[in-house]
Structure 1
């Protein structure tokens, strides 16, 4: 870069870099005023290097020793291509100087806006983006780190202070970096963890060894994500030398749960607990203890800390990320450098419940830190995969968790009422006075209606409270509870009901108490507006005490909260978010010891499953990704066993069999399990069940097909190959049952031992009340198949990821569209834009335009946007581009911007190119029709310096 005295972008960049260095604790000096002992960290401008190496823009000194260089470039300059220049400077330190490490290990490239950092102490040095240059004391700490050789030998446990490495020593005798130590961590040993947790721990550590900056762990609710994180953090601190770890939550009560998990964890190689070995601090104020190795904090409080605020009110940490939009800032959070909490303060950040919609709002808080990011979730959304760079290190589904005994399966019980589905009309002639309640104060007044009042289902419990609708649902629930929902029970199982809002919850609680004839302690409201007791205390009572039997909430208990005794999850509110719905369902999946369950529900023998009571049709909307294993509820257990005995491999029959076996396994005593092993040839019931679930997994079937037919790893098996492989896998999985009649008989006898038969009774006052199977594959039409395929592949195909998540700075490319077209055309689908367009035209003629026209490849953009409801009309992509172009021209004219005839011709060509190619760049000016008009050179003559901004603008406006 040119000297600082020159004008223009270079000088602006230098000014910003100087400010950044100063904020990070560096003293700035010119070469002729150099005094490297003046402070712990000194940055010398225009430092002269050894002959042939030139001048370093900034030479960085710590404790009087040269440690690194910073190469400055003007804003907008790409930095990766500058890396060789910085490396040359690092090797060019004059021989008479004695740095701690040679070549200089710490290399920075910066424009004042963007900074990249390379640590040559890493095993495979790779530059990475950092928020700002690290502080001098941080670099001093890195240089005093144990050498890698001593670290591997265990020397870190015996030395009180590390010594600087000797110049010229081998790599392993230089100070060890975090990445070097992680690469040499011993293999994970995980006594006390479930097998799925052990796999996740090993996979995560492999990701860290590979220096993947972000990793996503997707594990079913209740399968032990927090315990896995604690085990991983223990190893990262002890064996990886991590200085500090941040465990980030988005709600205060989840932080309390995490703190309990750390306190309960006992180190596998030490008799002491985690909190006896390392300081764990859950932040209740904005002050971080210097001794803290693990900090548990909400993202709201961390933002407050970074802003330099003295404190954050505790109630500001309790708001749900799924609440009303007003609870969170709508614009991206402006994060600036904070010297007290520098970007390198944490080495690793675990983000609990990372599926939440936090990235557009809080992303900068996460990316402020120069740390590995590890996401934990049961329900990732499309943008979650994108944020974690598609690095899914563990996937453990609800179905797998049920098979392994880590989750319980669920059933759906549907309650439908006329008003719920159709609304109602209050006739003025039949209602002399009408109750009107103030939303805020709930004060009731009475007025005479002057006309009929008609309301729709969506108005219920928001604009209209139909008390009989709530009462009918509650009464039906009570009547069916001990005959159909949990036959034979006498105690109301722990029940969690989701209401629309606090006022709706209030109405539900009042009516439940009336209909059950019970007192206040029987049914409680747990929302953010609950007073008298902290919501966390109410949740704890619900978790461990006999009362309350029923808790009504809005979304405070929707996500993350662990209440294992819950056996019924009831929905009296609609949910638009698939992720939130899955999280709400997840409150019921957790397993619990039989004795612990009896402590709060005395007549419960074991938690074999939970029931979703669906009062609003949620399970029929297609929101759910998780399907119950039970798919043939009306097929007897004996018939399912006979099906496999006769050689049957119907997937739905085997899925139901797996569900029944999982439930049976949770009721079996050790003696029962011993009998099963005797009859099965030594195979446990859990192993049989796991094999069936694994054989039903499409990924397992695809792998088996590739192996059986000798296909390449990335090859897509044909439908016939998949069927053959699936049949073989399923036959092998059920072989212990199919070939052993005595085992089948034993299982039937055991099941009968745990059951009693109850007659079912129906109520005429309901449209429908009974067991309901979740809707699946309701329609086989082309349109529904296409939309299901899009939803199923939205995390795998780049173009669909852009459609769903629209990441900042990422536009559709023509190559993305071409790849998507090839994917939908591939067998067995063989779909084309023409075929799909005609199908939509038949179904929704009034919303489809251009059905008779010729389809372009870019029409896939319109098809996908219409399919995922991002556009109300299906319009040819070229038409949409032309419409936007016309609007854009009108806006330009309105702003006083006019184009010459030649500019207009070029704009028309650019418009037409975007219509067929989705994007445009200056490279496209080498091809027809631009080349015939003079190419890039002529375009620059016509538009001057505005060409590049113009192209960027048209890319955004026309191709958006």
Structure 2
């Protein structure tokens, strides 16, 4: 070997001084060989240890509990450490025979191998699968390596989490949405592969990022060998919301709550509790803890909003060593976390998982482009996770141009700190731009004009036909601006304090106000600055109102996402009584924020085209890209309005879930999907246009090839929608009763034609025809309900009442009138129409007539019923009259349960109870 220059030796000696200090602060006792005392502590670092012949001299040997477990190769500051791994590997396998007797080895070598220069530390853990060097902030504590050794004794095959994650049990998918399933599996695949030490998950706002993360935390703590997780949120108030998610999570394996199994805590001035397995915090609070500064548990926007001018410098803290956390989850944190706060994240020897709806360039760069799962906002709309949105723009002169105030004008001046107002005359003319609006100058009429326009257009253009102000969130520029907006909202709408409130960190009890905004029918408008901008759910929200500009695409998407959540109709109607379903929300833009290039358009891009026309163009494969997106939006909105039976029926007609069709339409117009599906093509040339059209046509195929599906979609649309004409005033011409014979005759002819046309597909019609040859068969109520459902759909809209009235109009002599008709009267209508009966008689009347005749027959045969027996028989007949039949199971329902159900029937009717049920069905039903 060539001799090492003296300058290099000096540099290495300086590096060892730094390494000694790093080892000592991490809890190691650094000793020379002559002063070696392995009993002095758990961890001893022995300098200058002579190795076996041919293996040189190791800079440091590491001892845990008197056994050699590791080696450190020291190099001068600035030395590329990957280039000296051969040297440390040589030491790890070159123990002298006497030292080997007291060594812990893995596959013949020391398990813990370090390369260090004083400014950089690399570590290879031999217990990892396919051991690979990774960079550490500093050396792990002796207790940490001792724990790894204990784990290796308990699980020789996979002692570290990097091995355990390769053998996780199958994911229980039942409580998860498809996007969440994909995300969890992608994270675990990335952890197992270890190609990167960080993974990025993009999930649309409202898609359940936090629940996904909680699910992952449970699996990794329970099965993956992870000991502690740091969960970073954007703001401290979101820590409470995250804590609630952990407390509500129920383990799929044993049913216990997460917090019954693992300790979940917020990072406070008490520091890190030793029992904590999940720690929730903001990055700012972690930084203060690393600096041993007090961390308040209360909301402190000055702390959580603080962004330093330059990247922070982090120093080693023995109370929070780098190995404190195995996993760091960053849940929709501000983008600066990957810039100026990057040092805090990289301090910990942990895999980092980022969860975001809107990754920017800096985020992608930090995660080394390792996007493991992607779920976009349009995809979430297709999956009924979120609703689509519309944009409503309000423009005023002052908003866009500013204004001027002449010298000498008396104006109010407000002290920003005390909010004390005084009147002063301007010494000189004041001109202000739109950028100074609501910061240096508050133009009260500008705010009033915007709000009055919103009020006047709310029920005609924004939410036509409604009369209750939708839940509205207004974003203001600062607290003073928010204060002025709240005052103006109450004045413009002529409402009291409970109608509008300011919900900011400076407001009184903002958390209680936020909860009231979620649930109170009276609190309709909330004004905020940042507190509700990210991560906070207000599901009934229908208007997101921008009275401040936003320059960040990520922040805008998070603010927009406050209105995106779906909500079940019952809960929605409890806070907004004149609404039915939440199918969209509206971005009201009074500042121009939606005109930035980063704002993606809604799916509903062509409001002027009808659903019927869109489906017609789908049938002929002539939809444009914008029309395809619009069709996806309309179908997604319709699906939110449908009842479960309607949705199931539509899926049956489609031959697949309609949600799948909508998702295919969304993917076809997604630029990222287009680039993936059309590799090698560049947007613009004819080849691209042809390929794109083919992609759109393929997505439209399930609709184009299924006219029944298109027609049923339109029927359901008409059934759930109505047009409100508020334009035309009406004038009474006359009012009188009219018998429209022509219309009645038309209804009857259409009814007969319908029965003939659908004779082979509707069970009720088939069974009625079969009565001639199989008189013992009768209709079930389900058959009647199926027929009633079919004829009630547009364009027929038939009911038993309407059909009965039509027959009464054209054939009065053969029709017995009734004030109201039930579904079972369809049996009478079928029998009369098909010629089985000469007179149209209400079904209940027929049943009672036949019951009277049956009783007479029984009496003639010598059977007399007691009062108790008649009670049972009479009520059986009432059930038959409204249900077209009865079964023994019905005897355990009301009204029979009043007298004991089936047991009571057997008691009073004896062993003939079942016979009587059969006889009444046979004698009384059609």
Q: Place the TM-score, normalised by the shorter chain, in its bin.
A: 0.7 to 0.9
2:166 to 183, 192, 207: 183
Q: Distance in 2 between matches of 1:279 and 1:318?
A: 29
Q: Distance in 2 between matches of 1:49 and 1:464?
A: 76
Deviations along 1:796-840, one digit per CA (max 9) or x if unpaired, are xxxxxxxxxxxxxxxxxxxxxxxxxxxxxxxxxxxxxxxxxxxxx
Q: Which residue of 2 aligns with 1:91?
A: 93
Q: Secondary structure at the match of 2:237?
A: helix
2:659 maps to 1:686: yes
Q: Which residue of 2 aligns with 1:745?
A: 711
2:552 maps to 1:577: yes
Q: Does structure 2 conserve the Cα–Cα contact (< 8 Å) formed by 1:355 and 1:379?
A: no
Q: Distance in 1 between matches of 2:683 and 2:390?
A: 34
Q: Secondary structure at the match of 1:144?
A: helix
- How far apart are residue 721 of structure 1 and its match? 4.4
Classify 1:610/1:718 alpha carbon distance in 2 versus 1 (closer, same or farther; 3 Å). Answer: closer
2:250 maps to 1:257: no
Q: Which residue of 2 aligns with 1:455?
A: 432
Deviations along 1:309-336, one digit per CA (max 9) or x if unpaired, are 2443634367554xxxxx3332322211
1:512 to 479, 489, 494: 489
Q: Does structure 2 conserve the Cα–Cα contact (< 8 Å) formed by 1:3 and 1:46?
A: no
Q: Which residue of 1 aligns with 2:292?
A: 308
How do 1:471-482 residues align onto structure 2 when only pairs under 5 Å count?
471-482=448-459
Q: Does structure 2 conserve the Cα–Cα contact (< 8 Å) formed by 1:320 and 1:556?
A: no
Task: Give the greater-gyration-radius structure (CA).
Answer: 2
Q: Which residue of 2 aligns with 1:71?
A: 73
Q: Distance in 1 between matches of 2:431 and 2:34?
A: 85
Deviations along 1:262-314, one digit per CA (max 9) or x if unpaired, are 11111122211111111111234332222221111221221121112244363
Q: Does structure 2 conserve the Cα–Cα contact (< 8 Å) formed by 1:301 and 1:317?
A: no
Taking structure 2 as the reference length, the TM-score comes to 0.75
2:217 maps to 1:233: yes
Q: Which residue of 2 aligns with 1:410?
A: 389
Q: Distance in 2 between matches of 1:186 and 1:112?
A: 41
Q: Does structure 1 conserve the Cα–Cα contact (< 8 Å) formed by 2:404 and 2:431?
A: yes
Deviates more, 1:50-59 or 1:285-294: 285-294
How do 1:252-651 residues align onto structure 2 when only pairs under 5 Å count?
252-312=236-296, 314-316=298-300, 321=305, 327-427=306-406, 433-449=410-426, 451-531=428-508, 533=509, 535-624=510-599, 626-651=600-625
Deviations along 1:410-434, one digit per CA (max 9) or x if unpaired, are 0001111122122223345xx8533
Q: Distance in 2 between matches of 1:616 and 1:367?
A: 39
Q: Does structure 2 conserve the Cα–Cα contact (< 8 Å) formed by 1:225 and 1:376?
A: yes
- How far apart are residue 386 of structure 1 and its match? 0.5
- How far apart are residue 541 of structure 1 and its match? 1.9
Equivalenced residues, count = 721
- How far apart are residue 90 of structure 1 and its match? 0.3
Q: Distance in 1 between matches of 2:273 and 2:330?
A: 21
1:755 to 710, 716, 721: 721
Q: Distance in 2 between matches of 1:578 and 1:249?
A: 19
Classify 1:576/1:677 alpha carbon distance in 2 versus 1 (closer, same or farther; 3 Å). Answer: closer
Q: Secondary structure at the match of 1:459?
A: coil
Q: Secondary structure at the match of 2:394?
A: strand
Q: Which residue of 2 aligns with 1:39?
A: 41
Classify 1:607/1:469 alpha carbon distance in 2 versus 1 (closer, same or farther; 3 Å). Answer: same
- How far apart are residue 761 of structure 1 and its match? 8.0
Q: Distance in 1 between matches of 2:422 and 2:672?
A: 61
Deviations along 1:520-553, one digit per CA (max 9) or x if unpaired, are 111010112213x1x2222222122224210001
Q: Secondary structure at the match of 1:145?
A: helix
Q: Distance in 1 between matches of 2:322 and 2:304?
A: 27
Which ranges of structure 2 fall in alignment gaps of 5 or more residues?
Answer: 729-926
Q: Distance in 1 between matches of 2:183 and 2:495?
A: 46
Q: Does structure 1 conserve the Cα–Cα contact (< 8 Å) formed by 2:115 and 2:122?
A: yes
Taking structure 1 as the reference length, the TM-score comes to 0.72
Q: Does structure 2 conserve the Cα–Cα contact (< 8 Å) formed by 1:187 and 1:202?
A: no
Q: Does structure 2 conserve the Cα–Cα contact (< 8 Å) formed by 1:267 and 1:274?
A: yes
Deviations along 1:607-659, one digit per CA (max 9) or x if unpaired, are 101000111121123231x3200110111111111111122131101100100
Which ranges of structure 1 fall in alignment gaps of 5 or more residues?
Answer: 148-161, 163-171, 322-326, 763-960
Deviations along 1:46-80, one digit per CA (max 9) or x if unpaired, are 01111111111000000000000011001111100
Q: Distance in 1 between matches of 2:304 and 2:561?
A: 16
- How far apart are residue 13 of structure 1 and its match? 0.7
2:106 maps to 1:106: no
Q: Does structure 2 conserve the Cα–Cα contact (< 8 Å) formed by 1:13 and 1:112?
A: yes
Q: Which residue of 2 aligns with 1:732?
A: 698
Q: Does structure 2 conserve the Cα–Cα contact (< 8 Å) formed by 1:433 and 1:447?
A: yes
Q: Distance in 2 between matches of 1:651 and 1:6?
A: 66
Q: Does structure 2 conserve the Cα–Cα contact (< 8 Å) formed by 1:351 and 1:375?
A: yes
Deviations along 1:902-956, one digit per CA (max 9) or x if unpaired, are xxxxxxxxxxxxxxxxxxxxxxxxxxxxxxxxxxxxxxxxxxxxxxxxxxxxxxx
Classify 1:717/1:618 alpha carbon distance in 2 versus 1 (closer, same or farther; 3 Å). Answer: closer
Q: Which residue of 1 aligns with 2:668?
A: 695
Q: Distance in 2 between matches of 1:404 and 1:57?
A: 60
Deviates more, 1:132-141 or 1:441-450: 441-450
Q: Does structure 2 conserve the Cα–Cα contact (< 8 Å) formed by 1:437 and 1:443?
A: yes
Q: Distance in 2 between matches of 1:716 and 1:755?
A: 42
Q: Distance in 2 between matches of 1:292 and 1:373?
A: 19
Classify 1:696/1:61 alpha carbon distance in 2 versus 1 (closer, same or farther; 3 Å). Answer: same
Q: Distance in 1 between matches of 2:301 and 2:477?
A: 21
Deviations along 1:355-412, one digit per CA (max 9) or x if unpaired, are 5222332111111100000011111111000111110011111011111111110000
Q: Does structure 1 conserve the Cα–Cα contact (< 8 Å) formed by 2:237 and 2:299?
A: no
Q: Which residue of 2 aligns with 1:58?
A: 60
- How far apart are residue 700 of structure 1 and its match? 3.4
Q: Secondary structure at the match of 1:361?
A: coil
1:657 to 631, 649, 654: 631
Q: Which residue of 2 aligns with 1:675?
A: 649
Q: Does structure 2 conserve the Cα–Cα contact (< 8 Å) formed by 1:435 and 1:447?
A: yes
Q: Secondary structure at the match of 1:200?
A: helix
2:134 to 121, 128, 142: 128
- How far apart are residue 146 of structure 1 and its match? 4.8
How do 1:808-823 residues align onto structure 2 when only pairs under 5 Å count?
none
Q: Does structure 1 conserve the Cα–Cα contact (< 8 Å) formed by 2:52 and 2:97?
A: yes
Classify 1:761/1:557 alpha carbon distance in 2 versus 1 (closer, same or farther; 3 Å). Answer: farther
